[in-house]
Structure 1
Amino acid sequence: MSIELSNETDHAADLAEIRELAEYVLDEMHVHPQSDLYVRLVDEPTIAELHEQWMDLEGPTDVMSFPMDELLPGRPGELSEGILGDIVLCPAVAARQAVQAGHAVEEELLLLTTHGILHLLGYDHAEVAEEREMFDLQRRLLLTFLAERGRTATPPAGRS
Protein backbone atom coordinates (compact mmCIF):
# COMPACT_ATOMS: atom_id res chain seq x y z
CA MET A 1 0.00 0.00 0.00
CA SER A 2 1.46 3.32 -0.98
CA ILE A 3 0.17 5.97 1.39
CA GLU A 4 1.80 9.37 1.16
CA LEU A 5 1.16 12.04 3.76
CA SER A 6 2.10 15.69 3.91
CA ASN A 7 1.45 18.20 6.64
CA GLU A 8 1.51 21.75 5.28
CA THR A 9 0.25 23.24 8.56
CA ASP A 10 1.64 24.15 11.98
CA HIS A 11 -0.54 21.45 13.60
CA ALA A 12 1.61 18.63 15.00
CA ALA A 13 -0.55 15.82 13.60
CA ASP A 14 0.39 12.21 14.28
CA LEU A 15 1.01 11.23 10.66
CA ALA A 16 2.08 7.72 11.69
CA GLU A 17 -1.32 7.09 13.29
CA ILE A 18 -3.15 8.55 10.30
CA ARG A 19 -1.13 6.19 8.06
CA GLU A 20 -1.92 3.19 10.31
CA LEU A 21 -5.61 4.06 10.24
CA ALA A 22 -5.59 4.44 6.45
CA GLU A 23 -3.87 1.05 6.09
CA TYR A 24 -6.41 -0.51 8.44
CA VAL A 25 -9.44 0.96 6.64
CA LEU A 26 -8.12 0.05 3.19
CA ASP A 27 -7.41 -3.49 4.35
CA GLU A 28 -10.90 -3.81 5.89
CA MET A 29 -12.43 -2.51 2.66
CA HIS A 30 -10.40 -5.04 0.62
CA VAL A 31 -8.45 -2.49 -1.36
CA HIS A 32 -5.42 -4.01 -3.10
CA PRO A 33 -2.12 -3.43 -1.28
CA GLN A 34 -0.67 -1.97 -4.51
CA SER A 35 -3.19 0.90 -4.45
CA ASP A 36 -2.14 4.50 -3.86
CA LEU A 37 -3.54 7.10 -1.46
CA TYR A 38 -2.34 10.63 -0.71
CA VAL A 39 -3.39 12.47 2.49
CA ARG A 40 -2.62 16.19 2.70
CA LEU A 41 -3.15 18.43 5.73
CA VAL A 42 -3.67 22.07 4.78
CA ASP A 43 -4.57 25.42 6.32
CA GLU A 44 -7.98 27.10 6.12
CA PRO A 45 -7.24 29.40 3.15
CA THR A 46 -6.02 26.43 1.10
CA ILE A 47 -9.02 24.22 1.83
CA ALA A 48 -11.39 27.18 1.33
CA GLU A 49 -9.88 27.71 -2.12
CA LEU A 50 -10.26 23.99 -2.96
CA HIS A 51 -13.82 24.00 -1.57
CA GLU A 52 -14.82 26.88 -3.83
CA GLN A 53 -12.93 25.58 -6.87
CA TRP A 54 -14.25 22.01 -6.75
CA MET A 55 -17.57 22.25 -4.88
CA ASP A 56 -18.55 25.84 -5.67
CA LEU A 57 -19.04 26.41 -1.93
CA GLU A 58 -17.52 29.29 0.04
CA GLY A 59 -15.40 28.92 3.14
CA PRO A 60 -13.25 26.23 4.66
CA THR A 61 -14.44 22.68 5.24
CA ASP A 62 -13.05 19.79 7.26
CA VAL A 63 -12.25 17.17 4.60
CA MET A 64 -12.37 16.83 0.84
CA SER A 65 -11.88 13.69 -1.24
CA PHE A 66 -10.63 13.52 -4.80
CA PRO A 67 -11.11 10.02 -6.28
CA MET A 68 -8.85 8.96 -9.14
CA ASP A 69 -9.65 5.47 -10.46
CA GLU A 70 -13.15 5.31 -8.92
CA LEU A 71 -12.33 2.16 -6.97
CA LEU A 72 -15.07 0.38 -5.09
CA PRO A 73 -14.62 -1.75 -2.00
CA GLY A 74 -13.48 -5.25 -2.87
CA ARG A 75 -14.38 -8.55 -1.30
CA PRO A 76 -12.13 -11.14 0.31
CA GLY A 77 -10.09 -12.65 -2.50
CA GLU A 78 -11.21 -9.93 -4.94
CA LEU A 79 -9.23 -6.81 -4.14
CA SER A 80 -9.76 -3.44 -5.82
CA GLU A 81 -6.50 -2.12 -7.32
CA GLY A 82 -5.53 1.30 -8.63
CA ILE A 83 -4.98 4.87 -7.55
CA LEU A 84 -7.53 5.53 -4.85
CA GLY A 85 -7.06 9.29 -4.84
CA ASP A 86 -6.38 12.18 -2.49
CA ILE A 87 -7.81 13.29 0.83
CA VAL A 88 -7.32 16.86 2.02
CA LEU A 89 -7.82 17.53 5.73
CA CYS A 90 -7.93 20.85 7.56
CA PRO A 91 -6.71 20.51 11.18
CA ALA A 92 -7.96 24.01 12.09
CA VAL A 93 -11.54 23.10 11.17
CA ALA A 94 -11.08 19.67 12.77
CA ALA A 95 -9.96 21.37 16.00
CA ARG A 96 -13.17 23.41 16.22
CA GLN A 97 -15.30 20.34 15.50
CA ALA A 98 -13.40 18.32 18.12
CA VAL A 99 -14.20 20.91 20.79
CA GLN A 100 -17.89 20.82 19.83
CA ALA A 101 -17.88 17.00 19.86
CA GLY A 102 -15.96 16.76 23.13
CA HIS A 103 -12.99 14.74 21.93
CA ALA A 104 -9.36 15.24 20.91
CA VAL A 105 -8.32 16.86 17.63
CA GLU A 106 -6.39 13.71 16.71
CA GLU A 107 -9.58 11.65 17.01
CA GLU A 108 -11.36 14.13 14.77
CA LEU A 109 -8.58 13.85 12.18
CA LEU A 110 -8.88 10.05 12.29
CA LEU A 111 -12.65 10.32 11.85
CA LEU A 112 -12.19 12.64 8.89
CA THR A 113 -9.55 10.37 7.34
CA THR A 114 -11.96 7.42 7.57
CA HIS A 115 -14.74 9.58 6.14
CA GLY A 116 -12.53 10.69 3.26
CA ILE A 117 -11.47 7.14 2.40
CA LEU A 118 -15.09 6.00 2.32
CA HIS A 119 -15.90 8.84 -0.09
CA LEU A 120 -13.00 7.69 -2.29
CA LEU A 121 -14.56 4.23 -2.31
CA GLY A 122 -17.90 5.54 -3.54
CA TYR A 123 -19.80 6.01 -0.28
CA ASP A 124 -21.91 9.13 0.09
CA HIS A 125 -24.39 10.66 2.51
CA ALA A 126 -26.71 12.63 0.23
CA GLU A 127 -29.69 10.38 1.00
CA VAL A 128 -30.82 9.21 4.44
CA ALA A 129 -30.16 5.51 3.73
CA GLU A 130 -26.72 6.29 2.27
CA GLU A 131 -25.88 8.44 5.27
CA ARG A 132 -26.86 5.68 7.70
CA GLU A 133 -24.79 3.08 5.82
CA MET A 134 -21.74 5.33 5.48
CA PHE A 135 -21.74 6.68 9.03
CA ASP A 136 -22.36 3.24 10.57
CA LEU A 137 -19.43 1.83 8.60
CA GLN A 138 -17.29 4.87 9.44
CA ARG A 139 -18.03 4.48 13.13
CA ARG A 140 -17.38 0.71 13.13
CA LEU A 141 -14.07 1.05 11.29
CA LEU A 142 -12.79 3.84 13.52
CA LEU A 143 -13.91 2.31 16.82
CA THR A 144 -12.44 -1.07 15.88
CA PHE A 145 -9.15 0.56 14.88
CA LEU A 146 -8.96 2.46 18.18
CA ALA A 147 -10.02 -0.56 20.26
CA GLU A 148 -7.28 -2.69 18.70
CA ARG A 149 -4.82 -0.07 19.95
CA GLY A 150 -6.27 -0.07 23.45
CA ARG A 151 -7.99 3.28 23.08
CA THR A 152 -11.56 3.88 24.20
CA ALA A 153 -12.47 6.99 22.28
CA THR A 154 -16.07 7.50 21.29
CA PRO A 155 -16.12 9.51 18.08
CA PRO A 156 -19.42 10.83 16.81
CA ALA A 157 -21.56 8.47 14.76
CA GLY A 158 -21.36 10.71 11.79
CA ARG A 159 -20.64 14.18 10.58
CA SER A 160 -18.91 15.74 7.64
Structure 2
Amino acid sequence: MVVTDEQSDHVLDLDRWARLAAHALASRGVTRGELSLTFVDEEAITGLNADHMGEDGPTDVLSFPLDADALDAEPPTPGSLASQLPTLLGDVVICPAVAARNAADHAAGAAEPHPGHPTHDGSLDAELALLVVHGVLHVLGHDHAEPDETAAMQAAEREILAAVAAGEVAS
Protein backbone atom coordinates (compact mmCIF):
# COMPACT_ATOMS: atom_id res chain seq x y z
CA MET A 1 0.00 0.00 0.00
CA VAL A 2 1.38 3.37 -1.01
CA VAL A 3 -0.42 6.37 0.49
CA THR A 4 0.59 9.93 -0.37
CA ASP A 5 -0.73 13.36 0.52
CA GLU A 6 -0.26 15.91 -2.25
CA GLN A 7 -2.68 18.51 -0.89
CA SER A 8 -2.58 21.03 1.94
CA ASP A 9 -6.26 21.84 2.48
CA HIS A 10 -6.78 19.26 5.23
CA VAL A 11 -4.54 17.44 7.70
CA LEU A 12 -4.89 13.70 7.12
CA ASP A 13 -3.95 10.58 9.07
CA LEU A 14 -2.44 8.59 6.20
CA ASP A 15 -1.94 5.47 8.33
CA ARG A 16 -5.65 5.43 9.12
CA TRP A 17 -6.63 5.59 5.47
CA ALA A 18 -4.07 2.92 4.57
CA ARG A 19 -5.57 0.59 7.21
CA LEU A 20 -9.07 1.22 5.89
CA ALA A 21 -8.03 0.57 2.28
CA ALA A 22 -6.25 -2.64 3.34
CA HIS A 23 -9.37 -3.73 5.25
CA ALA A 24 -11.57 -3.00 2.23
CA LEU A 25 -9.30 -5.14 0.06
CA ALA A 26 -9.18 -7.97 2.59
CA SER A 27 -12.96 -7.88 3.06
CA ARG A 28 -13.31 -8.68 -0.64
CA GLY A 29 -10.77 -11.52 -0.41
CA VAL A 30 -7.80 -9.60 -1.82
CA THR A 31 -4.73 -10.48 0.19
CA ARG A 32 -2.02 -9.67 -2.33
CA GLY A 33 -1.31 -6.77 -4.61
CA GLU A 34 -0.37 -3.13 -4.40
CA LEU A 35 -2.77 -0.22 -4.25
CA SER A 36 -1.89 3.45 -4.44
CA LEU A 37 -4.04 5.89 -2.47
CA THR A 38 -3.33 9.55 -3.21
CA PHE A 39 -4.92 12.67 -1.74
CA VAL A 40 -4.77 15.67 -4.07
CA ASP A 41 -5.96 19.26 -4.36
CA GLU A 42 -8.78 20.51 -6.58
CA GLU A 43 -6.49 21.55 -9.40
CA ALA A 44 -5.00 18.07 -9.67
CA ILE A 45 -8.35 16.22 -9.47
CA THR A 46 -9.86 18.62 -12.03
CA GLY A 47 -7.06 17.78 -14.46
CA LEU A 48 -7.41 14.04 -13.88
CA ASN A 49 -11.19 14.26 -14.26
CA ALA A 50 -10.82 16.06 -17.61
CA ASP A 51 -8.03 13.83 -18.91
CA HIS A 52 -9.48 10.46 -17.90
CA MET A 53 -13.22 10.95 -17.58
CA GLY A 54 -13.82 13.77 -20.07
CA GLU A 55 -15.61 15.73 -17.35
CA ASP A 56 -15.20 19.41 -16.49
CA GLY A 57 -14.53 20.46 -12.92
CA PRO A 58 -13.38 18.69 -9.79
CA THR A 59 -14.72 15.44 -8.39
CA ASP A 60 -14.27 13.74 -5.03
CA VAL A 61 -12.74 10.37 -6.03
CA LEU A 62 -11.34 8.70 -9.11
CA SER A 63 -10.25 5.09 -9.40
CA PHE A 64 -7.88 3.59 -11.93
CA PRO A 65 -7.86 -0.23 -11.94
CA LEU A 66 -4.64 -1.62 -13.38
CA ASP A 67 -4.38 -5.39 -13.10
CA ALA A 68 -7.80 -6.55 -11.92
CA ASP A 69 -7.54 -9.72 -14.05
CA ALA A 70 -4.64 -10.84 -11.87
CA LEU A 71 -7.05 -11.08 -8.92
CA ASP A 72 -8.81 -14.00 -10.60
CA ALA A 73 -5.58 -15.80 -11.49
CA GLU A 74 -3.94 -18.47 -9.38
CA PRO A 75 -1.23 -17.11 -7.09
CA PRO A 76 2.24 -17.47 -8.64
CA THR A 77 4.40 -20.41 -7.67
CA PRO A 78 6.50 -19.60 -4.59
CA GLY A 79 10.06 -18.73 -5.58
CA SER A 80 9.16 -17.89 -9.18
CA LEU A 81 9.95 -14.49 -10.66
CA ALA A 82 6.21 -13.77 -10.81
CA SER A 83 5.95 -14.37 -7.06
CA GLN A 84 8.53 -11.65 -6.50
CA LEU A 85 6.67 -9.00 -8.48
CA PRO A 86 3.69 -7.19 -6.98
CA THR A 87 0.27 -7.34 -8.56
CA LEU A 88 -0.56 -3.73 -9.29
CA LEU A 89 -4.21 -3.37 -8.36
CA GLY A 90 -4.61 0.29 -9.22
CA ASP A 91 -4.81 3.83 -7.97
CA VAL A 92 -7.43 5.67 -5.94
CA VAL A 93 -7.23 9.47 -6.00
CA ILE A 94 -9.27 11.52 -3.52
CA CYS A 95 -9.74 15.27 -3.19
CA PRO A 96 -10.40 16.16 0.47
CA ALA A 97 -11.49 19.71 -0.45
CA VAL A 98 -14.33 18.38 -2.62
CA ALA A 99 -15.09 15.69 -0.03
CA ALA A 100 -15.46 18.38 2.65
CA ARG A 101 -18.05 20.20 0.52
CA ASN A 102 -19.95 16.99 -0.26
CA ALA A 103 -19.95 15.55 3.27
CA ALA A 104 -23.18 17.25 4.31
CA ASP A 105 -24.98 15.75 1.29
CA HIS A 106 -24.25 12.26 2.62
CA ALA A 107 -25.42 13.01 6.14
CA ALA A 108 -28.29 10.91 7.38
CA GLY A 109 -31.42 13.02 6.98
CA ALA A 110 -29.87 15.38 4.40
CA ALA A 111 -32.47 17.34 2.45
CA GLU A 112 -31.01 16.14 -0.86
CA PRO A 113 -28.81 13.12 -0.16
CA HIS A 114 -26.19 12.27 -2.76
CA PRO A 115 -27.47 9.35 -4.83
CA GLY A 116 -25.52 6.12 -4.95
CA HIS A 117 -23.85 6.31 -1.54
CA PRO A 118 -24.71 5.21 1.97
CA THR A 119 -25.38 8.02 4.42
CA HIS A 120 -23.18 8.90 7.39
CA ASP A 121 -22.79 11.56 10.10
CA GLY A 122 -21.85 14.33 7.64
CA SER A 123 -18.26 14.73 8.87
CA LEU A 124 -15.20 14.96 6.64
CA ASP A 125 -13.77 11.83 8.28
CA ALA A 126 -16.91 9.84 7.47
CA GLU A 127 -16.89 11.17 3.91
CA LEU A 128 -13.24 10.27 3.42
CA ALA A 129 -13.91 6.78 4.80
CA LEU A 130 -16.73 6.36 2.30
CA LEU A 131 -14.54 7.60 -0.56
CA VAL A 132 -11.62 5.32 0.33
CA VAL A 133 -13.94 2.30 0.39
CA HIS A 134 -15.79 3.45 -2.74
CA GLY A 135 -12.53 3.96 -4.61
CA VAL A 136 -11.12 0.58 -3.57
CA LEU A 137 -14.33 -1.17 -4.66
CA HIS A 138 -14.06 0.50 -8.08
CA VAL A 139 -10.47 -0.75 -8.40
CA LEU A 140 -11.78 -4.23 -7.65
CA GLY A 141 -14.35 -4.00 -10.44
CA HIS A 142 -17.47 -2.76 -8.67
CA ASP A 143 -19.55 -0.19 -10.51
CA HIS A 144 -22.78 1.72 -10.13
CA ALA A 145 -23.91 2.27 -13.72
CA GLU A 146 -26.94 -0.01 -13.36
CA PRO A 147 -29.39 -0.32 -10.44
CA ASP A 148 -28.29 -3.87 -9.53
CA GLU A 149 -24.61 -2.82 -9.60
CA THR A 150 -25.43 0.20 -7.43
CA ALA A 151 -27.22 -1.98 -4.89
CA ALA A 152 -24.31 -4.45 -4.73
CA MET A 153 -21.74 -1.69 -4.38
CA GLN A 154 -23.71 0.12 -1.68
CA ALA A 155 -24.13 -3.15 0.23
CA ALA A 156 -20.37 -3.72 0.11
CA GLU A 157 -19.73 -0.13 1.24
CA ARG A 158 -22.15 -0.51 4.14
CA GLU A 159 -20.61 -3.84 5.19
CA ILE A 160 -17.06 -2.46 5.20
CA LEU A 161 -18.00 0.80 6.91
CA ALA A 162 -20.04 -1.10 9.53
CA ALA A 163 -16.91 -3.09 10.39
CA VAL A 164 -15.10 0.21 10.93
CA ALA A 165 -17.92 1.52 13.11
CA ALA A 166 -17.87 -1.72 15.12
CA GLY A 167 -14.17 -1.27 15.80
CA GLU A 168 -13.02 -4.17 13.63
CA VAL A 169 -10.64 -1.77 11.86
CA ALA A 170 -8.32 0.35 13.98
CA SER A 171 -9.04 4.00 13.37
How would you bin the TM-score normalised by the shorter chain? 0.7 to 0.9
* Structure 1 residue 149 displacement after superposition: 5.3
Aligned to 1:67: 65
CA distance in 2 between counterparts of 1:55 and 1:150 reads 32
Unaligned runs of 5+ in 2: 76-85, 108-121
Percent of pairs identical after alignment?
39
**2:103 pairs with 1:98:** yes
- Residue 113 of structure 2 corresponds to none
Does 12-21 or 141-150 show the bigger shift?
141-150
Task: Tell me, yes or no, if the aligned pair for 1:4 and 1:37 is still in contact at 8 Å.
Answer: yes
> How big is the alpha-carbon RMSD for the aligned residues of Structure 1 and Structure 2?
2.2
What's the counterpart of residue 149 of structure 2? Answer: 130
Q: Where do 4+ consecutive residues of structure 1 move more than 2 Å?
A: 71-74, 99-102
8 A contact 1:71–1:122 mirrored in 2: no
Rounded to whole Å, the distance in 1 between the matches of 2:44 and 2:65 is: 19
Aligned pairs (5 A) from 1:32-47: 32-33=31-32, 35-47=33-45
Task: State the alpha-carbon separation in 2 of the partners of residues 69 and 120 from structure 1.
Answer: 9
Matched pairs, number:
145
User: Could you tell me which residue of structure 1 aligns to residue 20 of structure 2?
Assistant: 21
Alpha-carbon offset, residue 55 of structure 1: 0.5
What's the TM-score once normalised by structure 2's chain length? 0.78
Q: 1:115 to 1:82 in 2, by over 3 A?
A: same
Normalised by the size of structure 1, how large is the TM-score? 0.83
What amino acid sits opposite 1:93 in the alignment?
V
- The separation in 2 between residues aligned to 1:150 and 1:97, in whole angstroms, is 24
- Which has the greater radius of gyration? 2
